[in-house]
Chains A and B, each alone.
Chain A
């Protein structure tokens, strides 16, 4: 076995991170659809020849560490029958864990005829031939959701296999875009191969492998140290999703975290079995989400390299919403993941109390409007909406911030929105009293109101009203989402999940996203901070008195007589 000294190892470690960034940039630069090059709904990875992840770059945090499983599936199926210039793709929800829109492309990386690794690029394809164009909200079976592929060779020794390309284009409504995005994924993998050759020219494959082995070991060591510092014990949390989008039944989510020395076991026993609606999630993506939740608490600023998460063992029952099997529908697979992440973060918080943080609003809370009109042609607006995050130790939760799984998503300014769509954004403000009370208050959700200026379709997908963001250490829960649709005739509806329906001009959608949970006893919050909350519009005078025990008069001065002593 060749040897790699610590300096070479550090240079290789910087290389694998930098190479993954180059690969992702190549994907973003050459993709055809906006959801990839602007929404950055993608992830790439550089792996070793056994499919172990070395470096990765993700656009959305949700994809952290779910690609290695796909490469291992290619290795299982094709083994020795993998050649320079081959490209494989797969999107099977049960194998890679997400919805069929996410297609992972994988290519072997050869150096002078020797297999030295794999490159993988996952991207969201706009249309994969489902029952509805784009995203379907009502699917109850994977067979409503589009074309499903296991590990499939589509390019052999740099030659496209025409019948597979033919099959792909026959099964999508957006043929040019689909092939354009696939080509961008292939470009990304080729970029990785070129870059890898440059470093192998300098240090050779053997030293490179030795350096990779060191990197795995360093990451393992860092994880072991981190878990070793956690308090041993068994921690349990559960909560309920509102419904599966088709029925009205609550869906149970349960998580037990066990820390034993340097080992961490996560068990989802007790979570709901598969459901009819499309919120089932594959095991690989479930594990990926748990890695993300872990990452938020432990060394969040460090790059993820090979060997990360090796100390984490995940157990998911066979019949489980988080272990989707045929024919479970998976289109909105991420619906339960926000709650699962909050459960995991709360359990971890008990094992590391100094970093404990209350739950966040926890869902993408999507509002969509679309139609066909003579001026604009087909127009569509799909917006995830920001909400409140949990109080930490030493600071209030952040307000109006996008949910955990989405990361870098930005809201569309009203001035851009109104110029592009026949909709007026009548209000965009922080939702008073939505943050859970506490010594450290939960962050606020937002109020975002849309007035339809023409007849058009509207749809909503808001989760987390049954189990809104909970408080910890005596802090209060945040408010869950709450929507009003006010029709021109004055009728009011209050839907959270609603498939697309046609609405009249003049209809007003008032959407309210959830707040974050509070941390600690609200009666311990200093009077001047509560007063500031009231002045800044975070807390009403009524809530200041009922939740915090601070009496504030109409002229915004504190009434010391009616104010309770601080805890």
Chain B
């Protein structure tokens, strides 16, 4: 066997599954799209690999992002779960946080939890805040659960008892008792899934794991069975995690929850790689598709992350890449209200889609406006796979314009201006409102609609540099190939920082690291490939919310860590209190297993074809813009605006006073002249 081998990634979306094949030796990448198969997403992946993997070659590494667990939650098709709680806390998952999701609405209703009160069982027991047993566990009360499992057909049990993160004895005893009587039934214990305080959030995390687990496991088993013959012996499939790392399919079977929010993280990891490659550590990454606009940050070379996520309004305690989503995309609809123009958040989706799709849509959308302005090519959309109907777009946009006395072009420009203002506001939410100045960042734009809006968006925020990565339409899949294996571990560790014994702290961190080593060794990593990042959650005494601060490797310099909290606080809130007492709340360790991967080569350049021209509107003025093919430009070459730069998965719009340059790895750097 001397055939080539490939690293393969798959990003499974609602309509299309994107696959990227990377030559394991040269690093050259190629992207493909296949139709998704929502009833069994594995089929599209398998089909794509079968169809596009060159004859005689092998898959060396396979990673994919899956939305199977997420969909099970969204469509309420998870397992039938029984929840076990401490006595007097039966209603915890229905009471929730008590806050109102929409503060002006009296008709707002709480999210419905996946496990409700009739499926909740309590047991007499109580552990106090110090971890001492206040009331011993009365296991006999669990017989009601055993009986109910037989009678009601539960497929999984979730157990969350108060203060189990301090002392897991009662949860373990519950598990032992139930296992003996209900062999084979999956049991999720809260202190294993999330050894962290806050009982409602931990209950939700535990229940969500139990709920999604069987579905995720079933899916992974299918995929492994069908793809493992393609992999070299001893190699495993990898699955993306919500924290931006990857894990083996076997690990995912143990931690299905970690796959839940892994769908959009590929883009952020791609951004992290880009930051290192082009030497720009601060990036705003935006992914604009048909219906949604996702924004995330790379700060000092790392994706901005959070320790708690929300799904359907319910909390999940786990590390996630922080992604802000609003309803704005190519399909956002423009409409009239009280003599005013509004755009979005309603979207035409893919059916009927924008008017120009010719599938029956009649309301004007952002894509229609771009087509009217000459910014999209009606004959060369989505790599030529689809033809757009410019007349239908003009008709829809023109009809709205007529109501306000605007020309069709002016109305189209207006739709673009309004949607840009909304997207800029989404970026302000994650930058300016958190004390971050977007002018210190470069904007990375991808997704089908991102490169077309990128410059206009940057101008709204006074951002001077824009990067359009290679394969912008499949950038999330590309990003997955850049990831390492990552597992997160945590423990609640509460006290005043100045009273904490550094030796005890080091011991606690070492224990978390040992846990990480255990996982990574099982996944085949050697000690040379394993590394750790340590963190602690801090706050000033009397505060509620925490900041997560890195604790550098080696001996812990207590004063230095404390000082870095003050600095981080100052960055976030504009002031700090170095004289105030500081509390630590949780310790966290990220265990990393480095995956070998090739570098990113400069792409091959195709022969130059004759340039075409198109009439294109920029800020209400019509220009002759050159229409160019991106893959005809080599590293170091520049393009002056106005220009339209086309490629298979997206179209980049370069206004008159901007220029584009092909830089390392074939990335396009757009700057204002």
Contact = CB atoms under 8 A, between A and B. Distances in A.
Contacts of B429: 21
B421 A6 contact: no
Best-buried of B200, B340, B418 by chain A (most CB within 10 Å): B340
A11 B418 contact: yes
B90 interface: yes
Interface string A235-247: 0000000000000
A267 interface: no
Contacts of A413: 197-201
A415 B88 contact: no
Which bracket fits the contact residues of A? 35 or more
A14 B428 CA distance: 13
A408 B91 contact: no
A565 interface: no
A92 interface: no
A218 B104 contact: no
Interface string B567-594: 0000011110000000000000000000
Given A30-B573, A34-B542, A18 B109 contact: no
A65 B39 CA distance: 50
Contacts of A218: 337-340
B108 A398 contact: yes
A302 to B, nearest CB: 9
B118 interface: yes
Contacts of B414: 5-7, 10
A528 B494 CA distance: 47
A475 to B, nearest CB: 15
A410 B341 CA distance: 37
A22 B425 CA distance: 10
A187 B543 CA distance: 22
Interface stretch (A290-298, A479-487, A497-505, A545-553): A290-298
A428 B95 contact: yes
B102 A411 contact: no
A221 B338 contact: yes
A105 B397 CA distance: 45
Contacts of B340: 6, 9-10, 13, 214, 218
Interface stretch (A133-141, A271-279, A418-426): A418-426
A392 to B, nearest CB: 6
Interface string B513-547: 00000000000000000000000000000111100
Contact of B199 (A5, A414, A536): A414
A507 to B, nearest CB: 17
Best-buried of A22, A30, A225, A401 by chain B (most CB within 10 Å): A401
Interface in B403-427: 404, 406, 410, 413-414, 417-418, 421-422, 425
A537 B90 contact: yes
B421 A15 contact: yes
Contact of B104 (A184, A300, A411, A416): A300
Contacts of A390: 106
A30 B422 CA distance: 25
Best-buried of B91, B117, B542 by chain A (most CB within 10 Å): B91
A214 B338 CA distance: 10
Contacts of B410: 7
B305 interface: no
A180 B91 contact: no
A102 B417 CA distance: 39
Contact of A14 (B107, B197, B421, B542): B421
Interface in A524-567: 532, 535-537
Given A11-B417, A13-B340, A25 B432 contact: yes
Interface string B98-113: 1110111111111000
A407 interface: yes
Given A9-B340, A419-B129, A14 B97 contact: no
Contacts of A292: 104
A415 B338 contact: no
Interface string B251-277: 000000000000000000000000000
A388 B90 CA distance: 18
A532 B119 CA distance: 12
A123 interface: no
Contact of B107 (A64, A295, A357): A357
Nearest to B495: A419
Interface in B271-315: none
A114 interface: no
A195 B417 CA distance: 18
Nearest to B571: A29
Nearest to A32: B575
B299 to A, nearest CB: 16
Contacts of B98: 386, 400-402, 409-411
B261 to A, nearest CB: 22
Contacts, number: 192
A296 B435 contact: no
B425 A38 contact: no
B407 to A, nearest CB: 12
B32 interface: no
Q: Interface majority SS on B: helix, strand, loop or mixed?
A: loop
A535 B118 contact: yes
Nearest to B581: A377
A429 B89 contact: yes
A349 to B, nearest CB: 10
Nearest to A223: B338
Nearest to B574: A30
A174 to B, nearest CB: 12
A536 B406 CA distance: 58
Interface string B47-76: 000000000000000000000000000000
A408 B545 contact: no
Contact of A7 (B95, B418, B574): B418
Contacts of A357: 106-107
A360 B106 CA distance: 9
B90 A38 contact: no
B100 to A, nearest CB: 6
Contact of A29 (B89, B343, B572): B572
Nearest to A402: B98
A399 B199 contact: no
Contacts of A427: 88-89
A208 interface: no
Contact of A419 (B89, B343, B494, B545): B494
B99 A409 contact: yes
B433 interface: yes
A419 B574 contact: no
Interface in B79-133: 88-92, 94-100, 102-110, 116-118, 128-129
Nearest to B200: A413
Interface in B172-212: 197-201
A395 interface: yes
A78 B343 CA distance: 41
A326 interface: no
A37 interface: yes
A321 interface: no
B162 interface: yes
B162 A414 contact: yes
A221 B336 CA distance: 13
A424 B92 CA distance: 16
21 contacts: A5-B406, A9-B341, A10-B342, A13-B340, A18-B428, A180-B575, A214-B340, A218-B338, A221-B339, A301-B104, A386-B95, A400-B94, A404-B106, A408-B100, A413-B198, A414-B89, A415-B198, A416-B197, A416-B544, A419-B129, A532-B118
Shortest Cβ-Cβ A-B pairs, 3 listed: A7-B414, A25-B433, A407-B103
Given A398-B108, A399-B94, A400-B98, 10 more contacts: A10-B418, A11-B417, A13-B340, A30-B574, A38-B545, A61-B103, A301-B102, A410-B99, A413-B199, A419-B129
Interface of A: 5-7, 9-11, 13-15, 18, 21-22, 25, 29-32, 34, 37-38, 61, 64, 180, 184, 187, 214, 217-219, 221-222, 225, 292, 295-297, 300-301, 345, 355, 357, 360, 386, 389-390, 392, 395, 398-402, 404, 407-416, 418-419, 424, 426-430, 446, 449, 532, 535-537
